[in-house]
Amino acid sequence: MKIVYITNARLPTEKAHGVQIVKMSEAFSSLNNDVTVISPKRVQKEISHKTDIFNFYDIENIFEHKLVNFIDPYVYR
């Protein structure tokens, strides 16, 4: 089964919703599903040294993560 998880959340993030998104995606992938997570490409000054979600959350790279470009209002604060 193909599963596409579309979120408006900043990934990676230190918040709980980020952990839930990647853990659910990892679990669906481990059940032989084709999983793609799509999230916006957002500015992340706080954690810019770890922008790869698989390293940040210490999970297996068994699903695809796509970033979508958009105008981030955070830049103009």
Number of domains in the chain: 1
Task: For 5-51, give the secondary structure using H, E and C.
Answer: EECCCCCCCCCHHHHHHHHHHHHHHHCCCEEEEEEECCCCCCCCCCC
In terms of Cα–Cα distance, which of 68, 2, 75 is closest to 39?
A: 68
Q: Which domain holds residue 41?
A: 2-76
Q: Which pLDDT score, from 0 to 100, does residue 37 have?
A: 98
Q: Which pLDDT score, from 0 to 100, does residue 13 have?
A: 87
Per-residue pLDDT of the chain (77 residues; tens, 9 = 90+): 999 999 999 898 889 999 999 999 999 999 999 999 999 988 776 665 557 899 889 999 999 999 999 887 776 77
Q: Which pLDDT score, from 0 to 100, does residue 47 have?
A: 65
**Threshold 0.95, pTM exceeds:** no
